[in-house]
Amino acid sequence: MTERNATNEHWLRQVTTPLGQARVPCSQCSMQGVCEALSGDDDDKTFVRRGRLGSGQTLFRAGDTFHGIYAVTSGAIKTYAILDRDDVQVVDFHFPGDTVGLDALDRSAYTYTASALTETLVCRVDVDNPHIPIERRQDVQDATIRALGEQLRHEQNLSILLRKQNAEQRIATFLLSLAGPSVWAPARGVDLQLPMSRKDIANYLGIAVETLCRLFKRLQDDGLVDSQGRHVRLLNVAALSELAHPAESTEVETCSV
Amino acid sequence: MTERNATNEHWLRQVTTPLGQARVPCSQCSMQGVCEALSGDDDDKTFVRRGRLGSGQTLFRAGDTFHGIYAVTSGAIKTYAILDRDDVQVVDFHFPGDTVGLDALDRSAYTYTASALTETLVCRVDVDNPHIPIERRQDVQDATIRALGEQLRHEQNLSILLRKQNAEQRIATFLLSLAGPSVWAPARGVDLQLPMSRKDIANYLGIAVETLCRLFKRLQDDGLVDSQGRHVRLLNVAALSELAHPAESTEVETCSV
DNA sequence: CAACCACCTTGATATAAATCAAATCGACAC
DNA sequence: GTGTCGATTTGATTTATATCAAGGTGGTTG
């Protein structure tokens, strides 16, 4: 149970901001402190730059020379591998506060392709050059290791989800993770504006688009969500949570009455 | 295709030594350089210690106070989460050259439980104390970040496997990854002495034990492997590779003749 | 406007894999 | 030896999900 909670806790933490929130402050960013530490010291030595991506625009491609990591401040990014012509694999979605490109930190090239799902703002932190301060500053090292650790645990949790949960549970978990901390205070339902297509979601969750659709419908019919295309409202967060990680009701069967 | 190869390349790299090899030299360890850098400087300031675990013995438990990471030098470790009573999830297997506990590097407690699958030797690298040199030395930082990056990519590849591959493909990929670099020179088959049970393998691959058994049998009937309990010999590495990542034979149909 | 194009949705069918059940095997204790 | 317990294997059946197929939607372009 402790484990279970820990797992879910991290899923929720991955998305530090509810979808729709415009901008994330630096204090909530997974690279916290790095930007302040690296920018503004010197005119010529600014290692942090802000950038803007239009919807669908590519940030970098798998195999491109690594030149730094990106922190998302608004919008959304997807990273994906191109396995074949006509066969891609979405590896992750990145929301405000998340970092993109961490998995290439120790390499000369990016591992996956990263594209914006909507208009997106990013902070680029240069780390391509071994001479720049980021390699030397203790606070930056710490932030980097923390970000890597978080990302690693996120990926481990995803692996667990892919082995243990069926399609419906995956969807419930996914929706709750997108909602982020908002689920703790579901005033009158939680509104989500999904930045990605059904196809991307299905691909990410490892299920067929048709299955995703049918299960969305089932959740809708059961009154758990209200789904209008990319606008989804979570109507019954408690029931969704129950779906995502069913209670270990070995002895607590009175609950169901 | 580039992507596909990259993926498999990493799977293979995860296991740096073929199973059965007695001991891994420090030069092949994922913490390369760290041990030499940290040990022997001072009698009292040795941050690397060697340890021995009997079969089944636990190295640390999920929730235990974090006190360092471990490099496996011989034997094998499994890390797993206890989700419920009677429900565990194997997160990873760790072989000589691999590191255990990296995912807790930025935390105060270990994320998963780690147990030895056979008699196992480990090197423990202390990093619990913020005052010790490991936090300051550049070479150690670099090694840590590299190890984290590798682990992260390994986990991403595993996630891709769990979404894209069916049970048979998962098994083929798993066997090839265990064989490691040996598969490049399959003299007269590659011998594997599996340190883990069928149950653990099935759990790790996200399939039922019965399915695993049946598919082992199928591979055996098809002459791809010779499986006698925990002793497995890969008889046809080429065919296994073909199973693991089927050729994109859109226009190269002559190959099958 | 019509034509086109992805995307989304729903239905019918096929199938891989889970589940339930039971036999066999192996290791270890007594 | 005999008995026990877990691990492994095999069989029969069920089920979740993929696949194939076809409509419906919405946006964009000429």
The DSSP string of A161-175 is HHHH--HHHHHHHHH
Q: Which residues contact B9 (CB under 8 A, 6 or more apart)?
A: none
User: Is pLDDT above 60 for B21?
Assistant: no
Task: Quickly give B220 CA vs D12 C1' distance in Å.
Answer: 23
Beta-carbon contacts below 8 Å between A and B: 135
pLDDT of residue B14: 36
Is B83's Cβ below 8 Å from some Cβ in A? yes
pLDDT of residue B63: 96
Q: How far apart are CA A254 and CA A246, in angstroms?
A: 15
Least confident of A57-71, A99-113, B7-21, B35-49: B7-21
Q: Which residue in chain A has the smallest CA separation from B147?
A: A106
Query: What residues of chain A score a pLDDT lower than 70?
Result: 1-23, 33, 35-46, 128-136, 186, 247-257
Q: Considering CB atoms only, which of A111, A150, A206 is closest to B162?
A: A206
Lookup: nucleotide whose C1' is closest to A208 CA? D18
Structure tokens at B89: 């999830």
Residue A171 sits at the vertex; the CA angle it makes with A110 and A14, to the nearest 5 degrees, is 45
Number of H helices and E strands in chain A, helices first, is 7, 11
Residue B31 C-beta-side C-alpha neighbours within 13 Å: 27
Residue A208 sits at the vertex; the CA angle it makes with A203 and A211, to the nearest 5 degrees, is 130
pLDDT of residue B41: 53
Is A91's Cβ below 8 Å from some Cβ in B? yes
CB B22 within 8 A of CB B90: no
C-beta atoms of B83 and A3 within 8 A: yes
pLDDT of residue A42: 53
Q: In the block, which residue shows the tokens 């046809």? A: B236
Q: What is the mean pLDDT of residues B8-13?
A: 33
3-state helix, strand, coil in chain B (%, to 5): 40, 20, 35
Cβ-Cβ contacts under 8 Å, B81 against chain A: 3, 7, 160
For an interface test with A, give the residue of B112, B152, B162, B165 to mutate (most A CBs within 10 A): B152
Distance of CA B199 to the CA centre of its chain: 17
User: Is pLDDT above 80 for B183?
Assistant: no
pLDDT of residue B38: 66
Lookup: nucleotide whose C1' is closest to A168 CA? D16
Q: Considering CB atoms only, which of B150, B155, B248 is closest to A155?
A: B155
pLDDT tens string B102-124: 999 999 999 999 999 999 999 98
Structure tokens at A2: 């402790």
Structure tokens at B201: 């393998």
Is B160's Cβ below 8 Å from some Cβ in A? yes
Which domains, and CATH codes, for chain B?
Answer: 2-161 (2.60.120.10), 167-256 (1.10.10.10)
- Between these two residues, B58 and B180, which has the higher pLDDT value? B58
Cβ-Cβ contacts under 8 Å, A3 against chain B: 62, 81-83
Q: Considering CB atoms only, which of A148, A155, A158 is closest to B145?
A: A148
Cβ-Cβ contacts under 8 Å, A102 against chain B: 149, 152
Q: Which residue in chain A has the smallest CA separation from B6?
A: A111
Residue A190 sits at the vertex; the CA angle it makes with A193 and A72, to the nearest 5 degrees, is 45
- Which of these, A62, A136, A59, A56, lies nearest to A103 by C-alpha position? A62
Output residues with Cβ under 7 Å from nucleic strand D: A 166-168, 206-208, 210-211, 229; B 197-199, 209-210, 213-214, 216-217, 227, 229-230
Q: Whole-angstrom distance between the N-terminal and C-terminal Cα of chain A? A: 22
Structure tokens at B211: 């399915």
Q: What is the mean pLDDT of residues B201-220?
A: 98
pLDDT of residue A131: 62
Distance of CA A10 to the CA centre of its chain: 11
A88 touches strand C (CB under 7 A): no
C-beta atoms of B3 and A62 within 8 A: yes
C-beta atoms of A160 and B81 within 8 A: yes
A23 touches strand C (CB under 7 A): no
Q: How far apart are CA A209 and CA A199, in angstroms?
A: 6
Q: Which span out of B45-59, B81-95, B127-141 was modeled with the highest average pLDDT?
A: B81-95
pLDDT of residue A142: 82
Least confident of A55-59, A175-179, B5-9, B196-200: B5-9
Question: pTM to 2 decimals?
Answer: 0.87
Q: How far apart are CA B150 and CA B157, in angstroms?
A: 11
pLDDT of residue B172: 98
Relative orientation angle of helices A167-179 and A138-164, to the nearest 10 degrees: 150
pLDDT of residue B139: 78
Q: Which residues contact B188 (CB under 8 A, 6 or more apart)?
A: none
